[in-house]
Amino acid sequence: TTIYQEIQAAKMANKKLLAILLDPDKIVLESLDSLIVKINQSPATHVFIGGSQVESNILDDLIIRIKQNCVLPIVLFPGHPSQISNHADGILFLSLLSGRNPDYLIEHHIKAAPILKKTQLEIISTGYILIESGCETAVERISQTRPLDRNNPELVLHTAQAGEMLGSQLIYLEAGSGAKQAVPLKMIAFVAKNIQIPLLVGGGIITLEAIEKAYQSGADLVVIGTAFEKDADFFNAQIKL
Ligand code: 1GP
């Protein structure tokens, strides 16, 4: 079975999924083994790997080392076509549907296509929607796009539905890494109810309670970056999911 089939099966069974996002720029290779132990002890079902500036040779080594001791699927979450490694299992092929920068809608994808054709990576088409979160985030700065108004759920839904109609396999509602405000729960619920494909939510989720509320609102998979990066005992220190 593919990564995508497993996500779909989990959605059907109402089994919630959790991805830990690792930023290769911030990982200290010396402490990688203990970090992998923490990932294995956590309730995570997926490892996402991505960052703003990544050298692919670092990426290869990092993924090889993670795969030695971690059985979770490794999914690339790239910011740029240079961030592709054939050692991962899959890649979120993101189109930034909230923005109007052609590079992030299609241009990078055209550059990535011949590279991806030479890999075994499972390619998962993902409609990526950036939601306003209180301050400028890295996604906004690097993509040079504006996030969608957090008080306009209709526009967010229509964007997600257009992505679904264009063939996205997943919708990812993103507040941005380290966001002050996560995606509003009502917005998660409104979008989840009105699309058929699995819904990913991330950015600014820093408590187990917030993860649980995102699930209850309809998120199928929650992405945790900063909270785990700051405290590798984040999941253990609190009540198990
Ligand atoms: C960022 O959604 C992810 O792309 C995770 O965000 O670092 O705020 O958890 P955090």
101-131 pLDDT, tens digit per residue, is 999 999 999 999 999 999 999 999 999 999 9
Report how many helices (DSSP H) and strands (DSSP E) the chain contains, helices first: 11, 8
Q: Which of 42, 177, 228 to mutate to test the pocket of ligand 1 (most atoms within 8 A of CB)?
A: 177
Q: Which residues are annotated as a binding site?
A: 23, 52, 172-178, 203-204, 225-226
In the predicted structure, residue 193 carries a pLDDT above the cut 70:
yes
CB 94 near ligand 1, within 6 Å: no
Question: Residue type at 118?
Answer: K
Q: Specify if 234 maps to a domain.
A: no
Q: Structure tokens of 86?
A: 């054939």
Does the pLDDT at position 232 exceed 70?
Answer: yes
CB 72 within 8 Å of CB 56: no
Nearest residue to 174 (alpha-carbon basis) of 231, 101, 76, 94: 94
Q: Is 204 in the pocket of ligand 1 (CB under 6 A)?
A: yes
Return the structure tokens found at 77: 């979450």
Is 83 close to ligand 1, i.e. is its CB under 6 Å away? no
pLDDT at 174: 98
Domain count, the chain: 1
Burial class (CB in 10 A: 0-12, 13-18, 19+), 57: exposed
- If pLDDT is split at 50, 70 and 90, which confidence band does 51 have? confident
- What domain range includes position 24? 3-229
Phi, psi of 13 (to 5 degrees): -90, 5
Q: How far apart are CA 167 and CA 117, in angstroms?
A: 19
Would 239 be classed as within a structural domain?
no
Average of per-residue pLDDT across 85-110: 98
Position 81 confidence tier, pLDDT thresholds 50, 70, 90:
confident
Percent of all residues in the chain with a pLDDT value above 90, rounded to a whole number: 89
The per-residue pLDDT of the chain, averaged, comes to 95
CATH number for 67: 3.20.20.390
CA angle (147, 159, 175) in 5-degree steps: 35
Does the predicted model carry a pTM greater than 0.95? yes
In a domain, 241, yes or no: no
Name the phi and psi angles at 17, rounded to 5: -115, 155
**Is 177 a pocket residue for ligand 1 (Cβ < 6 Å)?**
yes
